[in-house]
């Protein structure tokens, strides 16, 4: 029988998330899924399982969790304060969560979205070919204290003590964008100023999108008030009536009438999602051919993530380059220093 996770304490933004529901845009449902899709892939790689396994997404703060059987877990995404029965756990690492032990996860130390993965995945209610919650569409809900969630078959899955060096993306940075169908209506001077400007993440934002405040004046489209509502997708940068850019994220609406000055590449959307209020962002335009190549490399990177997983503590018996560490010379150097001190 599969184990269950019991939620004793839940932050306000806990949801089950996977890679979402592609293919329903024509029916008025955006893809949804994890805000930081790379973090979902990293957790799957740490546990040696497929990306289809759902995890618990924690927005801003986590909660307190208990499992009804021994389970291997992984922690990914925005680093958060995590401990088991008071013992601090390193992030981006796999751990054994023993039956009855209490896993406590506090607030983020950087970024916005952390992820708790279980070997075998989280067994949420499957709706429209996915288990993840899509709150704006009313599919699923936030997790609450007292919830009990079934886990996948955890036998012979995952290995504790494994870690992964992850791509830094939790304090803003430069994100690459491609022109949209409406970039031209802003004019060359406005788009050049947009690319040269520095933006700060506004406190307003959620899984639908994030608002970014420019360092100077807002951006105006020549025909901004005559745009018809049309299809929009995650990554689109809408410019609202006051000239402020708003980057759409996983639970965005499916149509919109604000002009779009560009679209963030999917590879860089985790940087946007993880930017905390006050974090600085810049936008850099790239040609479509370059964007396609960037996305190809990103796909290859994710495919090979499992090869980058390594033990957190190396076993000397498996260190074929042990002599390169000069352990003996270090000891003799220490002896020499001790003799000199005497």
- 122 shares a domain with 45: yes
Check pLDDT > 90 for residue 94: yes
Model confidence, pTM: 0.90
Check pLDDT > 90 for residue 221: no
Q: Is 69 left (phi over 0), alpha (psi -120 to 50) or beta?
A: beta
The percent of residues above 90 in pLDDT, for the chain, comes to 80
* Choice between 2 and 163, residue whose per-residue pLDDT is larger: 163
Q: What residues are paired with 298 via a beta bridge?
A: none
- 267 shares a domain with 163: no
- Please compute the mean of the pLDDT values over residues 252-266 and round it to a whole number: 94
> What confidence score (pLDDT) does residue 77 get?
98
Tell me how far apart the terminal alpha carbons of the chain are, to the nearest angstrom: 65
Check pLDDT > 90 for residue 225: no
- 101 shares a domain with 205: no
Average pLDDT over the chain reads 90
* Choice between 119 and 323, residue whose per-residue pLDDT is larger: 119
Q: Is 100 left (phi over 0), alpha (psi -120 to 50) or beta?
A: left
- 204 shares a domain with 331: no
Q: Report the b/e string of 14-49 with b at 16+ CB within 10 A.
A: bbbbbbbbeebeeeebbbbbbbbbbbbbbbbbbbbb
- Please compute the mean of the pLDDT values over residues 33-46 and round it to a whole number: 97
- Please compute the mean of the pLDDT values over residues 205-233 and round it to a whole number: 87
- 158 shares a domain with 34: yes
Which secondary structure element, helix H or strand E, spans residue 126, and what is its range? none
| Contact (CB, 8 A) for 56 and 116 | yes
> What confidence score (pLDDT) does residue 335 get?
54
- Please compute the mean of the pLDDT values over residues 125-152 and round it to a whole number: 92
User: Cα separation of 335 and 341, whole Å?
Assistant: 10
Check pLDDT > 80 for residue 37: yes
Total domains in the chain come to 2
- 215 shares a domain with 156: no
- 260 shares a domain with 192: yes
- Please compute the mean of the pLDDT values over residues 164-190 and round it to a whole number: 94
The band of 123, judged by pLDDT with boundaries at 50, 70 and 90, is: confident
Closest CA to 64 of 8, 16, 114: 8
Average the pLDDT over each of 37-46, 73-82, 163-172, 326-335 and give the range with the smallest value: 326-335
- 221 shares a domain with 274: yes
CATH number where 240 lies: 2.40.100.10
- 47 shares a domain with 68: yes
- 35 shares a domain with 162: yes
The percent of residues above 70 in pLDDT, for the chain, comes to 88
User: Cα separation of 86 and 98, whole Å?
Assistant: 14
- 148 shares a domain with 8: yes
Domain assignment of residue 328, given as a range: 4-168+306-338
The band of 2, judged by pLDDT with boundaries at 50, 70 and 90, is: confident
- 129 shares a domain with 22: yes
- Please compute the mean of the pLDDT values over residues 103-126 and round it to a whole number: 93
Check pLDDT > 80 for residue 289: yes
> What confidence score (pLDDT) does residue 305 get?
96
Check pLDDT > 80 for residue 259: yes
pLDDT, tens only, 301-330: 999 999 999 999 865 555 445 454 455 554
């Amino acid at each position: 029988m599969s184990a269950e996770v019991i939620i004793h304490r839940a932050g306000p933004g806990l949801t089950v998330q996977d890679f979402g529901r592609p293919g329903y845009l024509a029916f008025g449902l955006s893809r949804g899924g994890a805000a930081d899709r790379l973090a979902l892939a990293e957790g799957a790689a740490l546990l040696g399982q497929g990306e289809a396994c759902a995890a618990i997404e924690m927005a801003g703060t986590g909660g307190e969790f208990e499992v009804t059987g021994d389970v291997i877990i992984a922690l990914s995404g925005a680093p958060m304060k995590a401990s088991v029965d008071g013992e601090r756990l390193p992030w981006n690492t796999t751990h054994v969560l023993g039956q009855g032990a209490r896993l406590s996860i506090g607030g983020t130390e950087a970024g916005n979205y952390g992820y708790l993965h279980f070997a075998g995945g989280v067994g949420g209610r499957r709706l429209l070919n996915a288990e993840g919650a899509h709150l704006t569409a009313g599919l699923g809900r936030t997790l609450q204290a007292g919830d009990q969630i079934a886990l996948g078959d955890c036998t012979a899955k995952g290995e504790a003590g494994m870690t992964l060096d992850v791509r830094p993306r939790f304090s803003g940075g430069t994100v690459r964008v491609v022109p949209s169908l409406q970039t031209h209506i802003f004019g060359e001077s406005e788009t050049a100023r947009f690319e040269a400007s520095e933006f700060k993440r506004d406190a307003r934002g959620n899984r639908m999108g994030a608002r970014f405040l420019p360092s100077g004046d807002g951006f105006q489209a020549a025909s901004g008030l005559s745009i018809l509502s049309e299809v929009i997708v995650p990554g689109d940068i809408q410019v609202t009536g006051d000239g402020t850019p708003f980057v759409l994220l996983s639970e965005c609406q499916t149509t919109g009438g604000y002009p779009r000055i560009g679209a963030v590449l999917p590879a860089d959307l985790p940087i946007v999602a993880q930017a905390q209020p006050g974090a600085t962002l810049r936008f850099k335009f790239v040609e479509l051919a370059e964007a396609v190549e960037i996305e190809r490399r990103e796909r290859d990177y994710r495919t090979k993530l499992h090869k980058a997983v390594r033990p957190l503590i190396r076993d000397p018996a498996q260190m074929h380059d042990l002599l390169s560490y000069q352990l003996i010379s270090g000891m003799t150097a220490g002896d020499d220093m001790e003799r000199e001190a005497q």
